Structure 1
Amino acid sequence: MAAGIVLPSWFATSIGAAIAVQIGTAAVGLGGGAPWTLVAGLAVFAVVGVVQLTRFRRDNGVWLGGLAGRVVLGTGTLASSSYVVALAAAIWAAFAGQWLLVALASAGGGVAYALGGRRWLAAYRAEPEVHGRGESAAWLAIMSLAAVGGLVLLVLER
């Protein structure tokens, strides 16, 4: 069954693009004094994530443990580490007024995030019993609430 799992068209590309938008809007929001862009970037990412997970379920007829957490929410090692590096670089560039570097860091982060998702899927196909388990829904909810709480604090401080 694992070998028959397919991602919907543009799955990784759209997730990577949404992450690039989210990184860029976060950097602009923090470095450019436009805190509303933080919310806009998260909204884009949320919509793309929900649409792609819905398409995945429709196309495959199953949920995969780990797909939402590791691929979409980026809890896999490559996705999370590349996200942190790209976000830090983009924020630094925004504070320095280097908007081209903000765009480059955001795009690089999105590409690495998407590649992390593809890497996880390949690992899942090779060993579904090892990679098939994702984080619990409660843990993902707690981490999402913590991230939103941090975002609210950042917006209020601006």
Structure 2
Amino acid sequence: MLVRSFQLSDYSSITQLLENVLSEECYEETMSAFAKQLSWDSELVLVAVEQERVAGVIIGTIDNNNGYYYRIAVEGEFQRKGIGKAMIEAMKTRFTQRKVRKILISVDTHNEMVLPVYESVGYRAEHFTRTTHQLSIVNG
């Protein structure tokens, strides 16, 4: 498995993956944030490739010198194989390289179920920032 930066050729595969994995409401919110993040800093969109296929995506952003994990999604057949953890670690490396002050996980109703994945790599409740609406992806 390889975790790498987003490439334009990944767009349709990622769109399909997000549509497969996310609820309709979450998909719409995520696609909007995904487009914004790509226009500002595509280096904070990472893709996991397994068997020459896009298996997962993680979208991060930086706001006020804080790094945020915004959304993570792994295609069903590739779930529970360490891909999510690998993408979280790769994004953490990106945040560290950018010298962010703090790394947080944006928590909304759509990603409550993936919090155990973040916890499994060492994040705790103090790293979770709860939002009642979509986290604004901003040019940080």
Q: What TM bracket, shorter-length normalisation? A: 0.3 to 0.5
Higher relative contact order structure (alpha carbons within 8 Å, sequence separation ≥ 6): 1
Indicate the structure with greater helix content. Answer: 1
Indicate the structure with greater strand content. Answer: 2
TM-score w.r.t. structure 1 length? 0.29
TM-score w.r.t. structure 2 length? 0.32
Larger CA Rg, structure 1 vs 2: 1
